Amino acid sequence: MPRYRICIEYDGTPFVGWQRQAQGQSVQGALEGAIQKFCGETVPVHGAGRTDAGVHALGQVAHLDLSKNWEPFRVREALNFHLKPAPIAVLACDVVSDDFNARYSATARHYRYRILCRRAPPILDRGRVWWLPILSLDHEAMGAAAQLLLGRHDFTTFRAVGCQATSPLRTLDRIDVTKCGEEIHIEASARSFLHNQVRSIVGSLKLVGEAKWDARDLEAALLARDRAACGPVAPASGLYLVRVDYGQLITTSEEIAEDDD
């Protein structure tokens, strides 16, 4: 039974999230429905990250098993045909070994958060950025403060109350804050993330950018290990799963399978 890896782009606005749920349309459910229409098989699609409702993806990765040896090109084209008009596209498809797992084999996940700072509301990017009707945030102060979060920490402050991860410990490998015209982009990379971790960090960094917090306040929030110490959680609309990396596995890591932003 061949295993296929697919890379997926989607607009998360109309979905209840990646994961199939009892109510509402999910990205996972839409893909599984397209597979059934394509080849008549009812098979699960396993994603690398369980993105929340409204979160977008530029490079989500998933795997699935089919009973027949289809050409990867045929699988990609058929899924894209049957996904219409859902805002989902399969960008690439290839055959992988049976031991590949989109979630468990991932060695790094990369997220981007977009903040738009301007008086006029977004039109073309409505639902795809966090619009702040202010002229600017101090992105340099945000970037400097963010470096205090690098490394391995207890991120209890920056995870959702209902987070199902067994441990709040995570290793943040990279977090950069850059200004791109009217937008501020926050890029974060780690093996895995806690539920709402990126959005919680972004909301707290916004307070730094507004000079309501400084770097010491952000560090104090981290060390508090208390959800009540977190700033307001940034909305889902500005968050993108950009890329998932696969390489040498660190099998002792407790972070291996718990990405859930």
* Catalytic (active-site) positions: 52
Q: For residue 244, which of 191, 197, 204, 173 has the smallest C-alpha distance?
A: 191
φ and ψ at residue 165, rounded to 5 degrees? -60, 145
The H or E element spanning position 124 is: none
Beta-bridge mates of residue 187: 112, 176
Q: For residue 159, which of 172, 145, 143, 148 has the smallest C-alpha distance?
A: 172
Ranges of beta strands (E only) in the chain are: 3-10, 46-47, 56-65, 88-96, 106-117, 130-132, 151-154, 169-180, 183-190, 239-246
Number of H helices, E strands in the chain: 5, 10
Helices (H), 99-183: 139-146
Determine how β-strand 183-190 pairs with β-strand 169-180.
Answer: antiparallel
What is the rounded CA–CA span in Å between residue 250 and residue 105? 10
State the distance between the two ends of the chain, measured CA to CA, in whole angstroms. Answer: 31
